[in-house]
Amino acid sequence: MSGNSFGTLFSVSSFGESHGPAIGCVIDGCPPGLPIAVEEIQAELDRRKPGTSRHVTQRREPDEVEILSGVFEGVTTGTPIALLIRNQDQRSRDYGNIAETFRPGHADYPYWQKYGVRDFRGGGRSSARETAVRVAAGAIARKWLLQRHGVVIRGYMAQLGPIEIPFVSWDEVGDNPFFAPDASIVSELESYMDELRKSGDSIGARINVVASGVPVGWGEPVYDRLDADIAHAMMGINAVKGVEIGAGFASIMQRGTEHGDEMTPEGFLSNNAGGVLGGISTGQDILVSMAIKPTSSIRLDRRSIDKQGSPVIVNTHGRHDPCVGIRATPIAEAMLALVLIDHALRHRAQCGDVATTTPRIAGLAPQGRQSVPSPRIR
Amino acid sequence: MSGNSFGTLFSVSSFGESHGPAIGCVIDGCPPGLPIAVEEIQAELDRRKPGTSRHVTQRREPDEVEILSGVFEGVTTGTPIALLIRNQDQRSRDYGNIAETFRPGHADYPYWQKYGVRDFRGGGRSSARETAVRVAAGAIARKWLLQRHGVVIRGYMAQLGPIEIPFVSWDEVGDNPFFAPDASIVSELESYMDELRKSGDSIGARINVVASGVPVGWGEPVYDRLDADIAHAMMGINAVKGVEIGAGFASIMQRGTEHGDEMTPEGFLSNNAGGVLGGISTGQDILVSMAIKPTSSIRLDRRSIDKQGSPVIVNTHGRHDPCVGIRATPIAEAMLALVLIDHALRHRAQCGDVATTTPRIAGLAPQGRQSVPSPRIR
Amino acid sequence: MSGNSFGTLFSVSSFGESHGPAIGCVIDGCPPGLPIAVEEIQAELDRRKPGTSRHVTQRREPDEVEILSGVFEGVTTGTPIALLIRNQDQRSRDYGNIAETFRPGHADYPYWQKYGVRDFRGGGRSSARETAVRVAAGAIARKWLLQRHGVVIRGYMAQLGPIEIPFVSWDEVGDNPFFAPDASIVSELESYMDELRKSGDSIGARINVVASGVPVGWGEPVYDRLDADIAHAMMGINAVKGVEIGAGFASIMQRGTEHGDEMTPEGFLSNNAGGVLGGISTGQDILVSMAIKPTSSIRLDRRSIDKQGSPVIVNTHGRHDPCVGIRATPIAEAMLALVLIDHALRHRAQCGDVATTTPRIAGLAPQGRQSVPSPRIR
Amino acid sequence: MSGNSFGTLFSVSSFGESHGPAIGCVIDGCPPGLPIAVEEIQAELDRRKPGTSRHVTQRREPDEVEILSGVFEGVTTGTPIALLIRNQDQRSRDYGNIAETFRPGHADYPYWQKYGVRDFRGGGRSSARETAVRVAAGAIARKWLLQRHGVVIRGYMAQLGPIEIPFVSWDEVGDNPFFAPDASIVSELESYMDELRKSGDSIGARINVVASGVPVGWGEPVYDRLDADIAHAMMGINAVKGVEIGAGFASIMQRGTEHGDEMTPEGFLSNNAGGVLGGISTGQDILVSMAIKPTSSIRLDRRSIDKQGSPVIVNTHGRHDPCVGIRATPIAEAMLALVLIDHALRHRAQCGDVATTTPRIAGLAPQGRQSVPSPRIR
């Protein structure tokens, strides 16, 4: 087990390299009887697909998914669901010089030293291409979470480099290639990206994800807290360098009287906790925010070394996203779905008989921006 | 498995409640032949112990650890190491009113809804008392990491509420109750805490942890990245709300030319990556930073509900840390040690035969503050 | 993780050596709200306890268990349950010569070569003393299985060396130190054992275990079949060399028309399957049989080698069971309970929503011997 | 996780139904740098392939395997290896009546009750077709075991129904469709099978597997003993009802003086232990024997029930092996390989630094029949 499986009860075992024959996964533990169509998975994949705007990589991959097992007559059978996506657009020549040198900020160097062998074409296993698999698996998790528990998972870009993006409405997120929740800022984002692309450089971003409708009680108390597993999931996405739950780093300067979310019979009065207390969901929205670093494959000259340890100048002319954060929203949503379904099943396993007479309360704030504590989004 | 075990190959299974008879753990997978004395574990426990200054909880717990198994004639045998710490100072009366109400910002409410039963005394399992177990287990991990690989793990407080603490020297960290790396700021911290304590409120903090000497190659590429497992470990510490690796959230505004750490035959020229690329250690210092929220148990009045869902006013007069961040440094160090030993063993399992002729390079910056990118600390 | 934990969702992490300070375990994942008293655990331990008749080891261990966590006001809380048993009767001098030599048929030699260090006193970790922990953990599993699902787990000795023991009644099992289901054969067993003990030799045995009331549907289809996990559990008991489910090795000579258990609306007409088909429980009794080898520590001279590889003559004069099978029945019952509770929880996690209108049928044969196919016992 | 993954460090996640589009697996944790060609995997698959003689199912499946990832320029990269086998010969009409009824002795009934839905075509997930995946994955494990440690794994049929098959030579195993180690008995086996096939009935078998060259020290002491994991692996093969290690059930009647394998500087004098003591390999041959039940799908009339619980007569006219044992040898070899590579890696992880000066001894008996204790085969 080398860390290519995710989840304890709803587990995804992923495979595939950027320029190999295919990528895909085996999903084990999916509850039986869930109606799922290949089109539903495809729809999620299409949200993450490359080549859909000039701001992302121009690699042409249809990302067409095939269900190989585990679904019979339109419903899951409880046996493993295998998903297969054939790679189509492999221009290996783009990556010729990477074979002998190491891109700064890229996994090239540690991969080589770890394994002593690597498929360098397009980054091989370290490529963000693998994240298509997560989105596909996440589509099934989301379907179950919605159907069984009414859970809705949505994300958006909250910042692109220096540009903070105000939260206006969930409705605007799907209408632009940035997943920005404010249509009026899109032209500014486009100008910024056009200039960046011309410069040959790359930039970071912030992505926020929110899960609404999560019942109280999911998660575990100590090491596998719900927020700890979310942090694991998010930091396990390529290029993520930081993860916050609820108030996140703003908590440092908060006093207890400000941070601790008060409760009334009508619901919680704030959500600094981000929907998790003591590692267990509270019934409020789960609020997650993450930092995405700038792409390491850039056209500009960078100092590095080659396999012999000699100094070289590296620049990368393959097809790369100048901001990997632009396509990260569906990936982050998928990972959150995978964490939640896993904990939903873990909770049912141990606590399936529990019932208290204490009323269950939720957050009082309406869905959307208001439920996200302002210091975190700015 | 309800999330009370940590680690895949070097695994710690923890138990115990704040006011039960004892806390402790079973460590499985420790390499045999490691010399370990109970005093070495005790020394780490003493760093985290309550009651050592007026700024932390006044609960008097000697935290005396007993080794029950797995060590014979002073060395580990490869069989499970059980550690036991008896609780001594249980004043359950301090917690009487918690039984029927839920403290805002505390695990009380979701625990109750999840399990339908809970040991409310002192927070039961949700108490930070459990972290003593992590420190004890971490002491063994640290010993092995140092002896076998020369890895050194050190942490410090980087911010207390509004007060940023400059990094002056590792030597100053051990000389004050805050784990502050700057002796000259200690009196300011003390004044702040004295005032805070009088007010009955609590405050957050930032803790940084650094692992030096980690070889290139530890970690896994996809889900169980080294940084993902570190995020899981840190977010799994009570009160942590955010985790950063290397440049962390500062990456959002960085361009690729700034963020990507260039390499020369002499070493890496910067460490925005925080010692991890593609989920695998680079040979540079591992840099981790985390946000600790303010304690939820405070003396001031807060709105909440009781078990029947009726509105109540809650205030907590037990013995609590007004800033849980003050004692968090040894815990964060221990968790980092647990992640690292686990990945050291995982790496050896799969890649024990790998050898490349490529030279291994490290960071050029000297140990300590210089290796921590400034944007992350502020 | 070095194999000292058992179970996926109801997991037991065991520790302790024969002559160390204590043995015990951490149980994680127990459903909350289960009433459990220390006396219930103690009652199971007393069934396995050494020194209760002249036919077993004369080591005097009260095997007194302490609950350290996870139980509050008499019910489980859902947090880890730690159980502790202090060792009392450690006569290490009994084992002096074992330190430098390896007993034939014993774990001494491979332990030494694996770890390069070992606690040789009383066999250290390889001692059957560890099985007390399994019985203690199993007591909690049994309680839940009985209370929640009406599952009853019972075992008996079916053969002692050359003496086959007819199944007369469950009622007779508890009335003799052999767990023999036929009181009339006990004097023959006693004579056999007295003679054996005088000779300084040891003997094997067969143990059968039956679980009644297991609902249809527990288990997994492929690798973690219910019977595969049972085989793992039983072969994981010290000295077990063979495991059968249902007709077991008699299946080799059976035709399909004989082996395949026919079904009618009233129930299954036979139970060659032993209650498991395709890895999943059928609703019939789970039938397990196992072979226990003769004790390797015997008083008679045996050829062996010492640490330097030189030839030596070994004989063992410590306190040993001349037939470890005699005390094996409660251990086998406990292991079956641990497998079943784990699969009960795994089943609920994935299939908690499943309901079919197909009637559930059970075995037609009355409980007890009749449900055990005769070819298997002989 | 529903039990479709096998192994802790070298893990195989299997998928696929008998009549779905494909079967296959993801192998995670394979050491990098292992040369592996698709032809090597294919060669193992061809040994298990259906339709190769009149004594096995006549389903025509080429079982052609494709490597989708994890192998680059002929060597493993350390990233997941995905293997894909498309199903070719799906005559679903063969299985029409199975949809509404349950075959006696088959997984039909418990599957239905567990999942409430199932792919009934050809047994779906419960079909032995899944075992092709194990053979494919096992081919990689075998290659590594042989190349890295010189381990050789071989199996044979030891009994076909009433006919015991003497062990003559490994050389004869590959020359007949039964994997019989005695060419002179093959015509008797053929006659028996011809008659059986005509009768419409089925029969059981015994398969033995031997691993030679396993170093001392693989395995874990308590629950995950090497023999416990082997038992789990073997009982996890379709139709297996019993597993023995070494002397197996013959141990019941052995005395300690007979069973305990004496040691001399030249080697072990016998191998009743079957190469495992205290759960750890001894350096002798690993000896495993298993009972395979008769196929449950037979042409003869059997009483059963349908989905409504009404009585029905079932007979099965699809293409089935009248003795599934005939094709079981390569599967059992593969499973043993998977257990051994997993424990090889686990051992290296924890004990990679261990070295003792004690000489390592092996078995004195020559390879083959002589190393298999005769009482076990009978």
Q: How many CA atoms lie within 13 A of C251 on its CB side?
A: 34
| Confidence grade of residue D92 (pLDDT, cut at 50, 70, 90) | low
The region of weakest confidence among B244-253, C185-194, D84-93, D219-228 is D84-93
Chain centroid offset of residue C332 CA = 2
Mean of the pLDDT values across residues C21-28? 98
Higher pLDDT, B218 or B90: B218
The region of weakest confidence among A128-137, B369-378, D204-213 is B369-378
Give the per-residue pLDDT at D239: 97
CB–CB contacts below 8 A, A to B: 418
> Mean pLDDT for chain B?
92
The region of weakest confidence among C119-133, D178-192, D352-366 is D352-366
B54 annotated to a ligand binding site: yes
Give the per-residue pLDDT at C125: 94
Chain centroid offset of residue B9 CA = 19
- Best of A12, A15, A346 to mutate (most D CBs within 10 Å, chain D): A15
Residues C36-80: tens digit of each pLDDT? 999 999 999 999 887 778 888 877 788 999 999 999 999 999 999
Closest C-chain CA to D107 = C278
Number of H helices, E strands in chain B: 8, 18
Helix H or strand E encompassing A11: strand A11-16
- If you search the block for the tokens 């009743």, which residue do you land on? D272
pLDDT over 50 at A375, yes or no: no
Chain B residues close to A258, C-beta within 8 Å? 294
Mean of the pLDDT values across residues C150-178? 96
Q: Residues B221, A111: contact at Cβ < 8 Å?
A: yes
Q: Minimal Cα–Cα distance from D71 to chain C, Å? A: 25
Q: Minimal Cα–Cα distance from D355 to chain B, Å? A: 10
Give the per-residue pLDDT at B377: 35
Give the per-residue pLDDT at B329: 97
Start-end of H helices in B2-130: 38-48, 108-115
Q: Tell me the backbone φ, ψ of residue A153, rounded to 5 degrees.
A: -120, 125
pLDDT over 60 at B148, yes or no: yes
Q: Residues C288, C208: contact at Cβ < 8 Å?
A: yes
C72 in A contact zone (CB under 8 Å): no
Q: CA-CA distance, A52 to D377, in Å (whole number)? A: 65
B126 annotated to a ligand binding site: yes
B26 in C contact zone (CB under 8 Å): yes
Instruction: Identify which of D105, D130, D261 has the shortest CB distance to residue C261.
Output: D105
Q: CA-CA distance, D55 to D38, in Å (whole number)? A: 28
- Best of B10, B140, B350 to mutate (most D CBs within 10 Å, chain D): B350
| Confidence grade of residue D49 (pLDDT, cut at 50, 70, 90) | confident
- If you search the block for the tokens 């946000």, which residue do you land on? B291
Give the per-residue pLDDT at A369: 39
B91 CB contacts (<8 Å, ≥6 apart)?
A: B318, B319
D126 annotated to a ligand binding site: yes
The verdict on a CB contact (< 8 Å) between A9 and C349 is yes
Instruction: Identify which of B78, B148, B350 has the shortest CB distance to residue D350.
Output: B78
Amino acid residing at C306: D
Instruction: Identify which of B201, B220, B231 has the shortest CB distance to residue A256.
Output: B201
pLDDT over 60 at C373, yes or no: no
Q: What percent of chain A has pLDDT over 90?
A: 84
Mean of the pLDDT values across residues D120-129? 90
Chain C residues close to B66, C-beta within 8 Å? 21
pLDDT over 60 at A47, yes or no: yes
- Best of C350, C353, C357 to mutate (most A CBs within 10 Å, chain A): C350
Q: Residues D209, D288: contact at Cβ < 8 Å?
A: yes
Give the per-residue pLDDT at D376: 39
C52 annotated to a ligand binding site: no
Chain centroid offset of residue D119 CA = 24
Q: CA-CA distance, D6 to C222, in Å (whole number)? A: 9
pLDDT over 50 at D369, yes or no: no
Hey, is C259 helix, strand or coil? helix
Instruction: Identify which of C31, C349, C354 has the shortest CB distance to residue A345.
Output: C349
Chain A residues close to C349, C-beta within 8 Å? 9, 29, 345-346, 348-349
Q: How many CA atoms lie within 13 A of D73 on its CB side?
A: 9
> Mean pLDDT for chain D?
92
B134 annotated to a ligand binding site: no
The verdict on a CB contact (< 8 Å) between B350 and D78 is yes
pLDDT over 60 at C372, yes or no: no
Closest A-chain CA to D83 = A15
Residues C110-155: tens digit of each pLDDT? 999 999 998 888 889 999 999 999 999 999 999 999 999 999 999 9
Residues C215-224: tens digit of each pLDDT? 999 999 999 9
B:279-298 residues touching chain D, CB 8 A cutoff: none
Higher pLDDT, D335 or D373: D335
Q: CA-CA distance, A231 to A227, in Å (whole number)? A: 6
C156 bridge partner residues: C208
Tokens of D235: 């009982």
The region of weakest confidence among A80-94, B189-203, D221-235 is A80-94
- Best of A10, A114, A350 to mutate (most B CBs within 10 Å, chain B): A114
Tokens of B153: 């793990």
B305 in A contact zone (CB under 8 Å): yes
Q: Which of D259, D235, D257, D231 is nearest to D245 (CA)?
A: D231
The verdict on a CB contact (< 8 Å) between C291 and D232 is no
C297 annotated to a ligand binding site: yes
Closest B-chain CA to C73 = B119
Helix H or strand E encompassing D374: helix D374-377
- Best of C36, C38, C67, C68 to mutate (most B CBs within 10 Å, chain B): C68
Chains that touch A (3 or more CB pairs under 8 A): B, C, D
D161 in B contact zone (CB under 8 Å): no
Give the per-residue pLDDT at B54: 86
Q: Minimal Cα–Cα distance from A35 to chain C, Å? A: 14
Chain A residues close to B217, C-beta within 8 Å? 110, 113-114
Give the per-residue pLDDT at B46: 93
Q: Alpha-carbon Rg of chain A, whole angstroms?
A: 21
pLDDT over 80 at D372, yes or no: no
Q: Minimal Cα–Cα distance from A357 to chain C, Å? A: 15
> Mean pLDDT for chain C?
92
Q: Minimal Cα–Cα distance from A23 to chain D, Å? A: 8
Q: Minimal Cα–Cα distance from A296 to chain D, Å? A: 21
| Confidence grade of residue C278 (pLDDT, cut at 50, 70, 90) | very high
> Mean pLDDT for chain A?
92
B212 bridge partner residues: B152
Q: Residues A14, D26: contact at Cβ < 8 Å?
A: yes
The verdict on a CB contact (< 8 Å) between A256 and B5 is no
Q: CA-CA distance, A279 to A283, in Å (whole number)? A: 12
A295 annotated to a ligand binding site: yes
Residues B236-252: tens digit of each pLDDT? 999 999 999 999 999 99
A273 annotated to a ligand binding site: no
Residues A276-289: tens digit of each pLDDT? 999 999 999 999 99
Give the per-residue pLDDT at B116: 96
Residues C281-295: tens digit of each pLDDT? 999 999 999 999 999
The verdict on a CB contact (< 8 Å) between B277 and A107 is yes
Tokens of B194: 């004295």
Q: CA-CA distance, A60 to A87, in Å (whole number)? A: 10
Q: Minimal Cα–Cα distance from B71 to chain C, Å? A: 8
Give the per-residue pLDDT at B321: 86
pLDDT over 80 at A189, yes or no: yes
Q: Which of B137, B134, B106 is nearest to B122 (CA)?
A: B106
Q: Residues D14, D238: contact at Cβ < 8 Å?
A: no
Give the per-residue pLDDT at D122: 85
